[in-house]
């Protein structure tokens, strides 16, 4: 699939998903199902017609994510223009069209990587109330790997309890897991 075709198909899907439905194919499959005498063949044709009638947005989104950056750079199209046409921020980020922003403003001389926070310091910083791995990272400045190592060790020792997914999470991406001291 060409980059431009992938971008066009996804934008079309966002505007009107039914525009991507192949009506002729749906009608053909339904007619074949009607004419079929074997019940299993009829069943398969009706299933195929149903699948053809449904527009799977994930296919178009995946094509957009794979090709949008290349196309946008070549055509000089901004992320803001995509947003104006309804492309969600998380899709733009997945496509590489958004610059990463840090939570805190940084100065040029500030650190660009973790400063090697020891696991022991991370363990000491783990709160008594429910927390997410991101909370400990922000509190200590430790890397994701270091915090995960500390959490994994404490779980194995029975000092932490996995509370499961955060039921109050309304952010984008995967729902974070909550932990609490045992």
- Does residue 125 sit in the same domain as residue 87? no
Residue 31 CA, distance from chain mean position = 38
Q: What is the pTM of this model?
A: 0.48
**Residue 168 belongs to domain spanning:** 119-181
Total domains in the fold of the chain: 2
Of the residues 94, 128, 161, the one at which a domain ends: 94
Q: Is residue 111 part of a domain?
A: no
- Does residue 129 sit in the same domain as residue 175? yes
- Does residue 133 sit in the same domain as residue 62? no
Q: What is the pLDDT, as a whole number, of residue 8? A: 93
In three-state secondary structure terms, 131 is strand
- Does residue 16 sit in the same domain as residue 81? yes
Q: Helix H segments across the chain?
A: 3-15, 23-35, 39-53, 57-75, 79-84, 89-94, 119-125, 133-140, 144-156
d(C-alpha 31, C-alpha 129), whole Å: 62
- Does residue 81 sit in the same domain as residue 156? no
pLDDT, one tens digit per residue, over 159-176 is 999 999 888 877 777 888
pLDDT, one tens digit per residue, over 22-44 is 889 989 999 999 999 999 999 99
Q: Is residue 52 part of a domain?
A: yes
Of the chain, the percentage scoring pLDDT greater than 90 comes to 29
Find the CATH number of the domain harbouring 144.
Answer: 1.10.10.10
Residue 53 predicted with pLDDT over 90? no
pLDDT, one tens digit per residue, over 115-173 is 577 888 888 888 888 888 888 888 888 888 888 888 898 899 999 999 998 888 777 77
């Amino acid at each position: 699939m060409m980059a431009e075709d992938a971008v066009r198909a996804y934008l079309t899907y966002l505007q009107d998903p039914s525009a991507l439905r192949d009506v002729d194919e749906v009608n053909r499959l339904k007619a074949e199902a009607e004419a079929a005498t074997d019940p299993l063949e009829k069943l398969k044709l009706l299933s195929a017609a149903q699948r053809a009638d449904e527009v799977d947005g994930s296919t178009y989104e995946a094509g957009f994510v794979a090709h949008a950056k290349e196309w946008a750079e070549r055509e000089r199209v901004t992320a803001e223009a995509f947003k104006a046409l309804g492309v969600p921020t998380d899709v733009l980020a997945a496509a590489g069209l958004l610059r990463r922003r840090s939570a805190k403003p940084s100065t040029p001389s500030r650190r660009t990587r973790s400063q090697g926070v020891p696991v022991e310091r991370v363990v000491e910083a783990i709160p008594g109330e429910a927390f997410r791995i991101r909370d400990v990272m922000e509190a200590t400045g430790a890397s994701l790997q270091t915090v995960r190592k500390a959490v994994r060790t404490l779980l194995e020792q029975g000092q932490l309890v996995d509370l499961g997914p955060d039921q109050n999470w309304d952010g984008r991406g995967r729902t974070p897991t909550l932990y609490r001291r045992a």
